[in-house]
Amino acid sequence: MTTDVLGPAVQALQSGRTAEAEEHLGAMLERTPTDPDAWHLLGVAALHAGRAGEAADCIGQAISFVPGHAAYHLDLALALCALRRFGDAEMALRQAAALAPDAPAAYANLGAVRLALGRPAEAVSALRRAVAARCDMAQAHANLAAAVCAAAGPDAARAHYHRALALHPGQGDTVRNLGLVLLQGGQPDPASAWLRRALAVRPDDGRARRALAAAAP
């Protein structure tokens, strides 16, 4: 379907008007029920609305019509991650990466999924490829730090957390996790400083509060 026809739905979705986007897309699919772009966007809208199962079904329908579109597989993986179906998400991301081998988002998400599956060394490989292709992805650097920490220990992770925070200084989880790796590495004083910063961002962060108590002399 052309961008002109999809335009109102795309604009509504980008503006956070999910219900309006779904209305437009539903009307389009009544007229052209095999349009893959409309099915894909309907899935994205459902995911934005918190209906991950419906999102996976809609995006799967888009893929059934056009299996070679990398973005469809990437968004399917996001829906599957929301459903905590990490094995299926990994398969979708591997397909996305095969279709678009230069796309950093596929590798960034593949690394995050492999980390969730408890395979940090494989996660490191995917995440290094992602940040090599695009160096400004703060969450990918934070996930790389977590994967490196799990695979090689806390000392190896510090530089990656610092890089993530240089890109996104206010990311509370990353601030806390830097404090945690410093504490694990036997540096309670700098760990305490980062953990206090984490609590300033998110006062209800129980992990940061417990770690700060543990760092106290």
Tens of pLDDT, residues 158-216: 999 999 999 999 999 999 999 999 999 999 999 999 999 999 999 999 999 999 999 98
Whether residue 1 has pLDDT greater than 60: no
Check whether residue 178 and residue 194 sit in a common domain: yes
Check whether residue 58 and residue 93 sit in a common domain: yes
Check whether residue 89 and residue 48 sit in a common domain: yes
pTM above 0.85, yes or no: yes
Percent of the residues in the chain that have a pLDDT greater than 90, as a whole number: 94
Percent of the residues in the chain that have a pLDDT greater than 70, as a whole number: 98
Check whether residue 90 and residue 5 sit in a common domain: yes
pLDDT class of 217 with cuts at 50, 70, 90: confident
One-character DSSP codes across 109-156: HHHHHHHHTT-HHHHHHHHHHHHHH-TT-HHHHHHHHHHHHHHH-HHH
The domain tally of the chain equals 3
Mean pLDDT over each residue of the chain, to the nearest integer: 95
CATH code assigned at 144 = 1.25.40
pLDDT class of 86 with cuts at 50, 70, 90: very high
Q: What is the pLDDT of residue 4?
A: 62
C-alpha dist (Å) from residue 124 to 10, 91, 113, 134, 165 = 34, 17, 11, 15, 18
Domain that holds residue 74: 1-100
Check whether residue 7 and residue 76 sit in a common domain: yes
pLDDT class of 80 with cuts at 50, 70, 90: very high
CATH code assigned at 43 = 1.25.40.10
DSSP tally for the chain: helices H, then strands E: 13, 0
Helix (H) or strand (E) segment spanning residue 2: none
**Residue 132 lies inside a defined structural domain of this protein:** yes
Q: What does the pLDDT look like over 50-74, one tens digit per residue? A: 999 999 999 999 999 999 999 999 9
- The mean per-residue pLDDT over the stretch 66-87 comes to 98
Check whether residue 187 and residue 144 sit in a common domain: no
Q: What is the pLDDT of residue 3?
A: 53
Give the count of beta carbons closer than 10 Å to the beta carbon of residue 188: 18
**Residue 163 lies inside a defined structural domain of this protein:** no
- The mean per-residue pLDDT over the stretch 118-128 comes to 98
Q: What is the pLDDT of residue 107?
A: 98
Check whether residue 119 and residue 189 sit in a common domain: no
